Amino acid sequence: MRLAQYIALTGLCSRRGATRFIRDGQISIDGRLANHIDSVTLIDTPQGQAAQQHICYQGKPLPAVEHKQYWMLNKLVGTDCRLLPHDPSSLWHLLPKQPRLYPVGRLDKDSRGLLLLTNDGELTQRLMHPDFHHRKRYRVRLNKAFDELFLTQMAAGVSYKNLTTLPCQVRRLDDSQFEIVLTQGLNRQIRRMSQALGYRVVDLERVAIESLSLGDLPPGQLRQLTDHELTALQASIA
């Protein structure tokens, strides 16, 4: 594989960041400065897949690429999805030290529910890229009861900040709660759609990403995906 891809898989940085490190002369391969056309041959080790070549960042050897792991977290309100070691509210403090896991997308700090965690960059890319329009299902409670017109407008697409959201699936749960399935990942999208129609979101829970469902995972807890869940998720985004 290309060197930048390997560097990203070790968890040092993103692929774009790896490209910058190579450009800036911070990566060496077999004792020489690396360049963008360098490739890496992988070998299996007990720790994961490692480069056959000796690759360093600022003189320090890069770790092996860990075996791929897939976890889910039932995120609590107040948890910040940014990985910030100095922030007590950061997701960083909830994750295991090994393997190194990264959130697939984010949930707002004031939202809760399903958060997928993995070190599989390819799966992350497929789920995050806007061209794939993957489905994410949410349950939402508003500050007051809504009528059928609200549901119709939400489903058709709502205009705010010089954009109009894509049509989506919406169904009523009770007088002030609804379920919505989005294929976009706009920042605070449900909150801004609701606000544009005169309502305020008081509770927002993500309950599913494609075939992956939160199920009965207790709030604040995380667990590995089962083989069945992983197979179904990979099939749904193939």
Catalytic positions, written as ranges: 108
Residue 114 CA to residue 223 CA, distance in Å, equals 11
Per the listing, tokens 């709660």 go with 177
> In this structure, are residues 21 and 33 in contact, taking their beta carbons and an 8 Å threshold?
no
Which helix (H) or strand (E) segment is 189 a member of? helix 189-196
| Maximum Cα–Cα distance across the chain | 68
What residues pair up with 231 in beta bridges, in sequence order? none
Of 101, 84, 90, 10, residue with least CA distance to 53: 10
SS3 at position 123: helix
Q: How far is the C-alpha of 238 from the C-alpha of 161, rounded, in Å?
A: 33
Tell me the C-alpha distance between 66 and 55, whole Å: 16
The span from the CA of 94 to the CA of 79, in Å, is 9
Strands (E), 122-200: 136-142, 159-160, 163-164, 169-172, 177-182
Helices (H), 24-167: 121-128, 148-156
